[in-house]
């Protein structure tokens, strides 16, 4: 695979990353800068990024196999790719249960946008 991919971060993923960096910054600004650089570096390689990650096991168990993740300890960066684009969807703390986080997000979106 030698294709170049354009990487796009969703608003949710950007907010996740901001939250991670702010949390770390409260303890160590240097560690926050290092974590930010590490995450951005690992998710910015336009050639290697898409195929590097594994399929998200919790989603695969539900029959959903088109989402992948990079493990950048202690975080999980969840994304999908299509054509020549990679869409970063979330950056989550790997010590938390992914299913719980996704359920919280679905409930929040549903409460913010109830059906008529």
Name the 3-class secondary structure at 106: helix
1 located within any domain? no
Specify the pLDDT at position 112: 65
The C-alpha atoms of residue 4 and residue 46 are separated, in whole angstroms, by 5
65 located within any domain? yes
Q: What is the DSSP letter of 84?
A: T
Specify the pLDDT at position 14: 94
The C-alpha atoms of residue 68 and residue 80 are separated, in whole angstroms, by 6
26: domain CATH number is 3.30.2310.20
Q: Which domain holds residue 16?
A: 6-112
62 located within any domain? yes
Residues 6 or more apart from 45 whose CB is under 8 A from it? 52
Domain count, the chain: 1
28 located within any domain? yes
pLDDT exceeding 90 applies to what percent of the chain? 40
pLDDT of 1-13, one tens digit each?
Answer: 457 788 899 999 9
Specify the pLDDT at position 114: 61
Can you give the C-alpha Rg of the chain in angstroms? 15
Specify the pLDDT at position 115: 54
């Amino acid at each position: 695979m030698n294709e170049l991919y354009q990487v796009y971060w969703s608003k949710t993923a950007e907010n996740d990353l901001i939250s991670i960096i702010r949390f770390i910054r409260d303890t160590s600004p240097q560690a926050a800068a290092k974590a930010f650089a590490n995450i951005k570096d690992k998710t910015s390689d336009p050639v290697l990024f898409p195929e590097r990650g594994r399929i998200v096991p919790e989603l695969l168990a539900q029959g959903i196999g088109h989402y992948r993740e990079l493990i950048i300890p202690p975080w999980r960066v969840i994304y999908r790719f299509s054509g020549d684009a990679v869409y970063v969807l979330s950056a989550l703390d790997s010590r938390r249960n992914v299913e719980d986080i996704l359920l919280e997000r679905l409930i929040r979106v549903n409460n913010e946008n109830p059906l008529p």
